[in-house]
Structure 1
Amino acid sequence: VFRPKDAPRYVPAEITIIACWAVCLVDMFFIYWYCRRQNSQKATLRAQPGYVKLENQEFLDLTDRENPEFVYTL
């Protein structure tokens, strides 16, 4: 990225670094949005009148998507 012909300012390298940071920020905000969405969907599911918590649910080897009691920490 830091090629000698681009010295001394290395503009292509700076653009590449800024673009990578931008992609990381977009990814971070997407993950935050997705986790909040999952938390609210699971809260809605748990609030339904017919919802029954399974006994010993923590030992059932459920994934975060399968376990309605799992909440992402933000």
Structure 2
Amino acid sequence: ILLSVAALALAWVYPFMKRYTHLPQVVLGAAFGWSIPMAFAAVSESVPLSCWLMFLANILWAVAYDT
């Protein structure tokens, strides 16, 4: 449940980041990639290090693709 609250916060904050930061792609990548920790938590009830590495890779992918 807490992970879904964080997803809601990311979705709410992203449009404002376009206005107030130079790299809104980081928030975009986090918003799109947040499904990775949520899926890991739903299936295994834990969020291992490999999940966070995949999440970080997704953020970097979004930054590279959208910049």
TM-score, length basis structure 1: 0.28
TM-score, length basis structure 2: 0.31
Task: Indicate the structure whose relative CO is greater, using CA pairs within 8 Å and at least 6 residues apart.
Answer: 2
Structure number with higher helix proportion: 2
The structure whose Rg is larger is 1
